[in-house]
Amino acid sequence: MESFTFPVKINELPSTLNPLLRTLQSSSILPALKPSSVPDGIAAFLFLLSALGYVTRGRLWDKPDLHYKVWFERPQLAGGASSIKGVTTRNVAQRLEEGDYQAVIFWGSQSGTAERFAETLGRECYTIFGINALVADISDYDAESIADLQQKHFAIFLLSTYGEGDPSDNAAGLWDWIKRNKDQATRVESLRYLAFGLGNSNYKYYNRVLDVVVDALDAAGATSLIPPQRADDAEGATEEDFQSWKDDLFALFRVLGYEQKAVAYQPTVSVEFGDSAQSEKDDSVHQISVHHQQTSLNSAIFPLPVRISRELFTAGDRNCIHMELDLGNNDVVYKTGDHIGIWPCNPDEEVERLLETLGLSDRRKDTLTIVALDDSAKPKVPSGSTLEAALRHHLEICASVSRKIAFDLAQFAPTPEARAMLTEIGQDRTRYEQFTSSTHITLARLLKLSSPLEPWTALPLSFVLENLLSLQPRYYSISSSSVISPRRIALTALVVNKEVADENKSTIHGLSSNYLLSASKLPSNAKAATPSFQHTSSVSGEVGTVFAHVRKSKFKLPITSSTPLVLIAAGTGFAPFRAFLAERAKLHALGKPVGRMLLFFGCRSPESDYIYRDELEKLQETLGDRLQIVTAFSRDGNNRKVYVQDRVAEESETVLEMLNAGANMYICGKAGMAREVDGKIEEAATQQKGMNGSEVKNWSDGLKKRGKWRADVWG
């Protein structure tokens, strides 16, 4: 009978394994590994080999890439936010003293617009008026320290509102302090401030964050130097509204005695070209480096393979995609009701157009060395990226160009005609609005229109990098249940294409939706040619990959499955309800008690865009009288257009009955629809409950505070 001996000596193994093996040797485990047969010996050997593999993972093999996180972090945060920004304290008053600043510009931004405005304003305060202003992410400082600001300083607040009157993620600390201060009554008599809000009037709580902050500061004794103003993105006027407010701000500066100077362009970042040889080796890293910070709300970004794609529309010239992404073995997890953030890239055509108009087509593969020239500058592109990667993966080159940028471009125009055209539309708001109403003006298209023959070789690349927005994720409600499909995320995306009323009948293609359509490899139903995108293949090379992260949401099912549900959706707003209903149907099939569900769903026509109709019919069979479906069709061939809010009004008695019985109500879709639904329900409550306006508002606000009335809306 052969005996089995351990194949290596302890002193020949890595030191990290010595404690484990000594424990095994001193115990009864290792001596017991003396099998009575060759198969037993092999089994024992394989057991020990597996144990060694498990213990050495991450030490001897499958070591983590220490630089992996750099792919997904903001360039300005590399090495820590404090070290980049020079922050030595979380007390903003102390920071102003340390840096000899005269003002602080706080920004609270969800999509990056308020942040960009703050950076621009900070530069202009210094170059035009000599005002040294600290541009500050609100989350970098303790909100309580705002009360320590001295009267010789002043504070500027640029605050965005999103969702149902919610502050941006980075403004949570300020929001909490404002709410706490109602009870603590901290006085801020020495605070002089100015405020500008970014919002969308389609939402019920338009610019609520600005209003709450301003009211709280005024109540605490602060002095507003000029009345607060509000941008309205519903009218596409955010840039113009900001420019108008800034004109008033600069007029105030002149009144306060600051001398206005006419200054030439001064870059805040240095941009130099390097060799293309190094980029050939490293470009795969730079093309997925994005501006994203992992937080408690947002996961890291991962490349997720596309496993299933199918078209949901059955007729017409539009596409609606159902796509499923494989989470694999990475660390991304989601819960039913969460959002997925898709990170698109820019289309090939727009990248090529911009390279050509800049006269830089032959330098597309050259690397860029980007260095901030002052503490407030935040490069939007990581140094070492190629020019092509910067334009494709880091900058919003498909976005419209503001009037101010058009005016500032004039100084670099290659021809007198181009300079005259840009100066004209840049100085006259009416002329600019007429021009842009019939033409989609991206930076490349504006440059080409103003100078069809001459490239813009005199335009500094630093100007391009400073004035274009950072590429941002687009969010979609997850349409799968984490209970049923924990390692696969489904999303539902309407492909957006908007025709422009110009002589060429051109089309504005939705960036993210067309990117997903391209990744799905489904044919386009659009009449116009669709843009082409560069996609990364999965390891197998058989399917495409999209980069995405998960964002936590409060749009959740109640813990108790017997709680009744009122679900109200139009179009792709049905996406999270697909997950809700599938999860409830699973619980019902397992014999769990399931509450009554009333679903309102609206779309154009039952023949063309009634998405997931087959699934809904099967759910109806499974759930029986537990599920009632009420539909609304706005273009079903008759003369009457019926919308979701109309059906809600017709069934308002049932809705109120369910709410009174403890139901949770969820609304998902466009903000305008949600506002109309709110109005119909509150109108019904006024009539049926005999309440006045303030009583109805208190009733609806109470339901919302308790999480019984939730909305997930957009645009």
Q: State the residue for tokens 């605050």.
A: 159
- Is domain 75-255 annotated with CATH 2.100.10.30? no
Q: Which residues pair with 304 in a beta bridge?
A: 546
Beta pairing class for 339-343 and 544-551:
antiparallel
Q: How far apart are CA 217 and CA 606, in angstroms?
A: 52
Could you tell me where the DSSP H helices lie in 145-237?
Answer: 172-184, 208-219
**Closest listed residue to residue 149, CA positions, set 194, 84, 86:** 194
Whole-angstrom distance, CA of residue 711 vs CA of residue 715: 13
- What is d(CA 330, CA 657) in angstroms, rounded to the nearest whole number? 45
Of 213, 8, 163, 106, nearest in space to 553 by CA:
163
Q: Looking at the whole model, is its pTM more than 0.85?
A: no
What integer pLDDT is reported at residue 24 of this predicted model?
46
Neighbours of 698 (CB within 10 A): 11
Beta-strand pair 229-232/192-199:
parallel
Geometric angle at alpha carbon 76, from 73 and 78, rounded to 5°? 55
DSSP H or E segment with residue 339: strand 339-343
- How much is the pLDDT for 459? 97
Q: Which helix (H) or strand (E) holds 92?
A: helix 92-98
Q: Is the dihedral of CA 88, 94, 96, 98 positive or negative?
A: negative
C-beta of residue 49 within 8 angstroms of C-beta of residue 13: no
DSSP string, 233-295: GGGT-HHHHHHHHHHHHHHHHHHTTPPP-------SEEEEE--SHHHHHHHHHHTT--S----
Three-state secondary structure call for residue 59: coil
In whole angstroms, give the CA distance from residue 161 to residue 153.
26
Angle at 154 between CA 148 and CA 158, to 5 degrees: 105
With contact defined as beta carbons under 8 Å apart, do 221 and 188 qualify?
A: yes
In whole angstroms, give the CA distance from residue 521 to residue 508: 20
User: What is d(CA 508, CA 402) in angstroms, rounded to the nearest whole number?
Assistant: 17
d(CA 41, CA 47): 10
Q: Cα Rg for the chain, rounded, in angstroms?
A: 29
Contact present, 339 and 478 (Cβ < 8 Å): yes
With CA atoms as reference, report the closest residue to 583 among 502, 484, 474. Answer: 484
Q: What is the full DSSP assignment across 436-486?
A: HHSS---HHHHHHHH-SSS--TTS-HHHHHHHSPBP--EEEEB-S-TTT-T
Residues with Cβ within 8 Å of 552's Cβ and at least 6 positions away in sequence, in order, are 296, 297, 298, 335, 338
**From residue 59, how far is each of 22, 66, 377 by CA, in Å?**
19, 13, 39
Do residues 332 and 239 touch, judged by C-beta distance below 8 A? Answer: no
DSSP assignment string, 593-657? ----EEEEEEES-TTT--TTHHHHHHHHHHHGGGEEEEEEESSSSSS----HHHHHHHTHHHHHH
What token pair was written down for 627?
């599920």
Report the chain's terminal Cα–Cα distance, integer Å. Answer: 78
Q: Return residue ranges of the chain for CATH 3.40.50.80.
A: 565-714
Burial of 443 (0-12, 13-18, 19+ CB in 10 A): buried
CA atoms within 13 A on the CB side of 356: 14
| Structure-block tokens of residue 34 | 């003396």
Burial of 199 (0-12, 13-18, 19+ CB in 10 A): buried
> Dihedral (C-alpha) 681, 687, 691, 692: value to the nearest 10 degrees?
90
DSSP 90: S
Find, among 463, 457, 445, the residue nearest to 413 by Cα. 457
> Collapsing DSSP states into helix, strand and coil, what is residue 582?
helix
Q: Which CATH class is domain 565-714?
A: alpha beta
Residue 314 and residue 10: Cα distance in Å, rounded?
68
The partner residues of 166 in beta bridges, in order of sequence, read 162
Contact between 574 and 282 (Cβ < 8 Å): no
Own/partner pairs, 647-653, CB within 8 angstroms, 24+ separation: 647/600, 647/602, 648/568, 648/600, 648/677, 648/680, 648/681, 649/680, 649/683, 649/684, 651/598, 651/600, 652/680, 652/681, 652/684, 652/688, 653/684, 653/688
CA atoms within 13 A on the CB side of 555: 32
Tens of pLDDT, residues 126-165: 989 999 999 999 999 999 999 999 999 999 999 999 877 8
- Pick out the chain residues at pLDDT < 70: 1-47, 49-87, 276-291, 376, 501-505, 536-543, 637, 639
Both tokens of 579, joined, read 């997950």
What residue ranges of the chain are covered by domains with CATH 3.40.50.360? 75-255
Beta bridge partners of 99: none
CA–CA separation, 379 vs 223, rounded Å? Answer: 34
Is 627 exposed, middle or buried, given 0-12, 13-18 or 19+ CB atoms closer than 10 A?
Answer: buried
